[in-house]
Amino acid sequence: MATDQRLRDFFPPPPGLVESAHINNRDVLARMADQNLEGFWEEQAKEFEWFRPWTRVLDDSNPPFYQWFVGATTNIVYNCLDRHVRSWRRNKLAIIWEGENGDQRTFSYHALNREVCMFANVLRSMGVHKGDRVTIYMGRIPELPVAMLACAKIGAVHSVVYGGFSVEALHGRIEDSQSQVVITCDGGYMNGKIVELKNIVDEALKRCATVEHVIVVRRTGQPVTMESGRDYWYHELMTLPVARTASGNSRCETEEMDAEDPLFLLYTSGTTGRPKAILHTHGGYMVGVATTLKWVFDLKEEDRYWCTADPGWITGHSYIVYGPLLLGTTSFMYEGAPTYPYPNRWWSMVEKYGINILYTAPTAIRGLMRYGEAWPNRHDLSSLRLLGTVGEPINPEAWRWYYEAIGKGRCPIMDTWWQTETGMFMITPLPETPLKPGSATKPFPGIEADVVDENGNSLPAGEEGYLVLKRPWPAMLRNIYNDPDRYVSQYWSKFPGVYFTGDSARKDEDGYYWIIGRVDDVIKVSGYRLGTAEIESALVSHPAVAEAAAIGLPHDIKGNAIHAYVILRAGFEPSESLIEELRAHVAHEMGPIARPEKITIVSQLPKTRSGKIMRRVLKARAQGLPEGDLSTLEE
């Protein structure tokens, strides 16, 4: 009933938008791409500069190890910076940044390129070579994109760890990537407090030996320990002769990369066990990310674009750093919390900087909606022309608030479905698409999605099933770093030859997709992707805990909240203070976002006969729902 009601609501695009949009013939493009996938992407690839052209657009001879733009060489940074500084864009703003404390900095393409070149020279002088991994763990400051771009420029592979993660999460990611260099800050400002980034790095490094150098950007000025011979200040390195060429200028040669050379690793949680490093490459990723950003958000030369994500997640990689720079866009970047010092902070900056396109997450919208319309109403938001969301399904109520209170009914909402693994938008509206609140609408041209049953058979409209992708796309992950078997088993084995997303979804009669949620052990907390295994292992690392199980339960603002069940070791008594201690322990090890909402101490956990915890049973019990098939339950 509720669903039928929703399906009747169509929000047509605002008048004028479609006529002037880059793309207003989605169906034509989709048909073209269906008929000639390679030709379609080849056309888009021609927008960029390549040192050597490809001999084949797509090599699908060894699935699922697909290759794109085979034989071509380029460097994504060459297309983000080098080619712009040779054009009039050299004096265009690339990044406008505001700190939580009101600090402001701007970088033209020239200034950004200069900073990146100098830092790339510094990294080279420290012995960072093509293919080496560098871990970046920073607050949301301009040096974060600078560090990413400097790595990519010299062919090093960056692994950005979200600055909200903590010791154990950071340690595991540094160790798995075998990084020799870590780039961090003394601290970061968040919600009026300081996040002790350098201290967390120090603690993580006590647990791992591969790291030779730590480069520290000064942001807060708080006292930190600098280990002599290991730790260096960014601002000091940048004044040394090593930041410059032999002739003393600030240039740096951009490394010529094969289209399929690795660009970055990004750790994300999956079905079981430790987080996996998703591997993306220079060529295909560049083409996919730039094309989707330009078409979906209709980015024009004169736009000011703001993606509120953190560069430490895929949204930031694709649509704060690489996508906007590839298109020569002016991006706005903000350091801190949306409600600091008041709930109008975001809206005040939309007005102050004249933001035209705002891309954020449902959880942020729900969080701000709670404070009421008076806060956005204090500001002139008339510069906005398009809005976007990503990260989890958006509930129609939040959608409507975003549409009315922020977009004033003038701005379409691009609800973009995609993943760390897909690298780029996959199911998404285009400006011309009539919208239905809560639906990501249709696959991007060239993307073939489907909803299938357990046996991989296509399901009719209205039926819930597994969301799969049936054809390769240029920004797709190429592998799991150092674990090709896991790449095959995790993504390409449930339905052979087809990419399994881990999501469930259904299509409606109009062919619109409605994403329902994860069907694996991933919990989306405030849009952040966490794995039950990592949370459980953080719990079990506490001396009082014998066993633990974590599940996600619905939460008004966060979408899902973590609930954990623990069995104590002999000799420990349940108490409120112990529960508090365990919650704090998870936050310390994993990061504040992983702090369980609630921990329940139990004497046993529902398990299969082989000893696997049945989280779906815990979930059903907690919600008072039917427990389903219990034939394998041992308990």
Q: Site residues (CB under 6 A) for ligand WT7?
A: 268, 314-315, 390-393, 415-420, 440, 501-503, 515, 518, 524, 529
Judging by beta carbons within 10 Å of its beta carbon (0-12, 13-18, 19+), is residue 181 exposed, middle or buried?
buried
Under 8 Å between Cβ of 562 and 528: no
Return the number of the residue (113 or 420) whose C-beta is nearest ligand WT7.
420
Task: Give the residue from 559, 619, 623, 593 showing the smallest Cα distance to 395.
Answer: 559
Closest approach, Cβ 398 to ligand WT7, in A, equals 12
Return the number of the residue (523 or 617) whose C-beta is nearest ligand WT7.
523
Return the number of the residue (255 or 392) whose C-beta is nearest ligand WT7.
392
Closest approach, Cβ 427 to ligand WT7, in A, equals 8
Closest approach, Cβ 434 to ligand WT7, in A, equals 17
Return the number of the residue (376 or 393) whose C-beta is nearest ligand WT7.
393
Copy the structure tokens of residue 408: 């004033």
197-204's contacts with Cβ under 8 Å and 24+ in sequence apart are 197/137, 197/138, 197/139, 197/163, 198/224, 198/225, 199/224, 199/225, 200/137, 200/166, 200/167, 200/170, 201/137, 201/170, 202/227, 203/167, 204/167, 204/168, 204/170, 204/171, 204/174
What residue spans of 478-546 are helical by DSSP H?
A: 484-492, 532-540
Under 8 Å between Cβ of 198 and 206: no
Closest approach, Cβ 508 to ligand WT7, in A, equals 15
Return the number of the residue (345 or 529) whose C-beta is nearest ligand WT7.
529
Under 8 Å between Cβ of 599 and 582: yes
CA 344 – CA 331 distance, rounded (Å): 20
What residue spans of 218-297 are helical by DSSP H?
A: 234-237, 283-296
Closest approach, Cβ 584 to ligand WT7, in A, equals 25
Residues 6+ apart with CB under 8 A from 450: 458, 467, 468, 469, 470
Closest approach, Cβ 47 to ligand WT7, in A, equals 23
Radius of gyration of the chain (CA): 24
Return the number of the residue (177 or 268) whose C-beta is nearest ligand WT7.
268
Closest approach, Cβ 528 to ligand WT7, in A, equals 7
Return the number of the residue (179 or 360) whose C-beta is nearest ligand WT7.
360
Closest approach, Cβ 464 to ligand WT7, in A, equals 14
Return the number of the residue (185 or 277) whose C-beta is nearest ligand WT7.
277
Under 8 Å between Cβ of 52 and 73: yes
Closest approach, Cβ 205 to ligand WT7, in A, equals 26
Return the number of the residue (291 or 419) whose C-beta is nearest ligand WT7.
419
CA 46 – CA 23 distance, rounded (Å): 17
Return the number of the residue (153 or 529) whose C-beta is nearest ligand WT7.
529
Under 8 Å between Cβ of 314 and 83: no
If one counts every other C-beta atom within 10 angstroms of the C-beta of residue 454, the result is: 9
Q: At which residue do the structure tokens 């506490």 appear?
A: 542
Closest approach, Cβ 390 to ligand WT7, in A, equals 5
